[in-house]
Amino acid sequence: MMPIRRLGSHGMHKNNALVPVLSLVFLSCASAMKSRAGELTIDRLFDSPALSGPAITGLRVSPDNALITFLQGKLEDKNRLDLWEYDIGARRSQLLVDANALSASGQVVSTEEMSRRERQRTAALSGIQDYFFVADGKSLVFAVDGQLFYVDSPGSAQRSFQQLTAGESPVTDASVSARGNFLAYVRNQNLHLFDLRLRTEKALTLNGAGAISNGVAEFVAQEEMGRHTGYWWSPDERHIAFERSDESAVHQQTRLEGSGMSQTLVQQRYPFAGGPNALVTLGVIDIASGAVTWIDLGADPDIYLTRVQWLPDGKTLAIQREDRTQHQLDLLFADIGTGKSHVILTEKRSSWIDLNDELTFIRKTGEFIWGSNRDGYEHLYLYTADGRKERQLTAGGWNVTDFRERAIRGVDEKRRLVYFLANKRSPMHLDLYVTSLDTRHPEKVHRITREAGIHGVAMAHDFSFYVDHFTSRLQPRQLSVRNSDGGLRAFVLKNVLDAQHPDAPYGADNSVQEIGSLRAADGQALFYQLFRPKNFNPAKRYPAIVTVYGGPGHQGVLDQWAGDSFTQILTRAGFVVFQLDNRGTAFRGAAFQALLSGQLGGVEIADQIQGARWLGSQSFVDPLRIGVWGWSYGGYMTLMLMFRAPEIFRAGVAGSPVTDWTLYDTHYTERFLGRPQDNPAAYEASSVLGYAGNLQGKLLVMHGMADDNVLFLNSTTLFSRLQNLGKPFDTMVYPGTKHGLLRQQDGRHAYKTILQFFGSALGPE
C-alpha cells in the first residue's frame, strides 16, 4: 500500500483548543498575482504546463562536480520527462536529451517495467525515467520507451548519442557498473549484461519464465518494502548479486485487465495475508566465468530479503533479513566466495520492525553507520567492522528521515562528517544536518538549511556544495545551488510566483493551509491543516470535508505548496477542507506509530472522530454537513468513519479501499495484525464489513477494476455486504485502471465525480 510518505511541547493547549502553530495568509503571494483570478478547473490541474512550475526529479551532481542533472517535464506535456543539465561554472541550464527526438513512436515498455512503475507510483510518466553517469561522468546512459541510449560528453556542444539496445523486447531496471564498463538490466524475466566497450549483450540467467524471475524484486518487495530492484553491482564490477524469485506457491487471483471494450482475464500471483510468499534466493554471478555462488540466507526459507548492499572490499555482501513475523531484523555479512553468512547485529521489536535504509560503510576504517529507532526515534549509530557499537551519532525526540528514501546524504571520510536529513525543526519540516562521526554529544547536530519547509538535497562529491530542492506553503518547488554552510550560490530554478508563473491566473484565490494541533486522548499532539473556502466569511457556516489517509508510513500535514491540489477545487466550491495526522502515522517516533499494532481502525478512527468533532465546533463550520474522503488506506478509513460515526459524517467517498484485511498482502497486513490463522479476532475487528450495517449517510465507492494492489475484490465484497443489508450506496468503477488512477487521465473523471457527489450530498443549508 506504500503511501506518500514534531514540533516540541511549546505552543500546545490542554483542552483541544485551536493552536495556530504556523498560521499564514496568502497576501504576500497574492500581491504578485494578477488582480483578477481566473477559474481553476479540474482539467487545468491535469493540463500542461504544470501549475507548480517545472516538475523536477532525478536530481544528481556529476562525478566531477561540474554539472547538475535532472529530469524535467515538458512545457506542453508535464508528464513526459526530458533530461536537463545545469553548468555550475557558467550558471546556465540547457536541454541535454529531448525524449521525443529519440522516440516518436510512443511508449513501449515491458510488463516488468509497467509493474515496477505502478509500484513506484510513476505509471503516469513517460519519456526518460532514469539515467546514470558512467564512471568519471564523461558519458551518460538513459532509457527511453524501453530502450537504452548512450550520450558522450554531456555539457559539451560536441556531445553525441548512440542507441545501445533495440528489438521488440524492451528492457527494465538498467544500471551502470561502478567502473563504467558494463550495463545490467532485466529482459524477459532474466538478467542481462551489456559490454559498453564491445557493444555486445549476453544473458546472465536463462531460466526466467512463468513463476521464476531473475533480477526482479518480488511483488511485496516493490509494493511494501520500497525495494524496486532485484540485483546489485559489486564495487569492482566483477560480480552481480541477484535475487531469484519463485512464485509457484503464491495464490493466483483472477482479475480483469483492459478497457471497457476489451477485457482480458489475468492470473495474478497475489500473496494474500496468511498465505505463501514468493520463495526468494540470493546468488552472486562472476561476470567473467558466469559461475553462480548461492548465499546462505538461513535455515528458514519463509523470510523477507529486505535490503542488499556490497561492502567496499567487493568480496562481502551485507544482507538485511526480516523474519515472517516482522519482529526481528538481522544484518548478515556473506562471503561471496563460499556463500557462507553470519549475523553481525540484530534488531528486535515487540510491535514490528521498520526497514532500514541508513546502512552506510566507511571505506577507510571499515566502520559502518546503522539506522535504528531502538531509543524511540530513528537515529544513526556507528559500528566497527565486526558489529560492535561504537557510539550513537544522533539523539532526541525527532527522526533522521527523508519521508521518501534514505536520509544519509553523504559521508565526508576525510573530515569524519555525516550529512543527513531530519525533521528536528518540527514534524512538518525537513532539513539538512551535519554531525561528526566522533561526536560525544549526539543530541547536538548542526542544521545547514535555513528556510522553513521541505528540503530535498543532493550533495557534491567533495562536499563543497549541495543542491537544494525546496518547497514551502508559499513556495512551489525551487532548485538552488548552496554552499556547504547553506549560503545561496545560484538558483537553477527560482520558480517565482510572479505574473508569468503558470499559477498566476489562479493564485489570488488559492487557500493556504493553517497548521495547528489538537491533543489525543493519551495527551499526544495531533497536527492538522485547515484550508478556508474562497471569499471566506467568518459569519457564515460552511460545509466541511475531511481528507484522510491515516495509515502507517504516511504524513499528510507538511509545510509544502498545495496550489496545484484538488483541495483548491474544493475550497473554490465553498468547502472547508481539513486534514489530521492521527496516531499511527509516520515520522513521530516508534511509540506514536506502534499504537496500530494488533488492530487497524482503532486509534486512527478515534483520533479522526475527535478531529471532526473539533472541526464541527468551529463557528464557521456547519456540523450537519461534514463529509470525508480518502484513497487506499484513506478509502478504508472513510468507510470506517462512515460506519462507526454516522452521526458526524453525512457523506463519504472511499477510493480503492481495503474492506477486509484477509484480502490484502502478507508483508503490509501481517506487520500489524499477524497472520489471520493466528489472530482471527484482530482481522474481524479491523474489517469494515462488520460495521456496514451502521451506514446512514451517502456513500460513493470508487475503484479501478484492474487494480493489482488493492484488488477490486475488496469493493465487490463490500458491494455484496451492503446489498444484503439493504443499504443504498453509489459506485464508480474504472475498467482497465489500476491503483494510481487519480494520477492518470482517469483522475480527471474521478475528481469531477467526487466534486459533484459532495456538491449534491453536502449542498446548500
Which is catalytic among the residues 330, 354, 357, 707? 707
Q: Give the chain's length.
A: 765
Would the CA dihedral through 712, 717, 723, 729 be positive or negative?
negative
Closest CA to 566 of 510, 627, 497: 510
- How far lies 270's CA from each of 87, 324, 631, 682, 686, in Å? 47, 17, 21, 22, 21
Query: Cα angle at 362 between 356 and 368, to 5 degrees?
Result: 40
Which amino acid is present at 406? R
739 in catalytic set: yes
Question: How many CB atoms lie under 10 A from the CB of residue 679?
Answer: 17
660 in catalytic set: no
Query: For residues 656 and 708, is the Cβ–Cβ distance under 8 A?
Result: no
Long-range contacts of 481-485 (CB under 8 A, 24+ apart): 481/68, 481/88, 482/448, 482/449, 484/448, 485/448
Query: Read out DSSP for 138-181?
Result: TEEEEEETTEEEEEESTTSTT-EEEE---SSS--EEEEE-TTSS
Query: For residues 658 and 636, is the Cβ–Cβ distance under 8 A?
Result: yes
Which is catalytic among the residues 379, 607, 739, 746? 739
Would the CA dihedral through 52, 587, 529, 628 be positive or negative?
positive
Question: How many CB atoms lie under 10 A from the CB of residue 597?
Answer: 19
28 in catalytic set: no
Which is catalytic among the residues 511, 565, 632, 715? 632
DSSP, collapsed to helix, strand or coil, labels residue 73 as: strand
The bridge status of strand 252-258 relative to strand 279-286 is unpaired
Grid coordinates belonging to 656: 480503492
Query: For residues 755 and 42, is the Cβ–Cβ distance under 8 A?
Result: yes
Residues 666, 303: Cα–Cα separation, whole Å: 11
Q: Which residues are catalytic?
A: 632, 707, 739
